Structure 1
Amino acid sequence: MKDSFDRFDLDRMRNDPDNYIWGIFYFNPRDDRTILPKRNKLLGWTLNFAKTETYLFLILIFALGWLVSKI
């Protein structure tokens, strides 16, 4: 069963330094979001590296970049 979190809990998890590897890679298996705002929302978005979808997304981005460079 998945946890359901309200906006406050999601913001608290996003801002918790314990959910970051080396201070830059967000890694939280309890957070269902794959793409979420960075700690400072003005700086854009980050990926949740605890989710398989993140790695599939990165592979897709690199594959598209490689494909475009070959055209």
Structure 2
Amino acid sequence: MDRKVFMGVAQIMLGQLDLSNIVIGWYKLFPSSSLVSHHSSSTGTLTSTNRKGSSTSLDSGYNHSTRT
């Protein structure tokens, strides 16, 4: 059974970002399951890919890096 899901909207004001501070975290807008699976139009089923989830790939060091 299909269900309607509202994905949401986010607006980031790039001009108002304080880039002098180190970024040490991130806000997860979507669940990792929405990034690691896709809808196959030919079979109508959900299939998994070999791509890492967002939390796995971002925790690999990118969001904890320091600026020199």
Whether these two folds match at TM > 0.5 is no
Higher relative helix content: 1
Higher relative strand content: 1
Which structure has the larger Rg?
Answer: 2
Q: So what's the TM-score if we normalise by structure 1?
A: 0.26
Structure number with the bigger relative contact order (C-alpha 8 A, sep ≥ 6) is 2
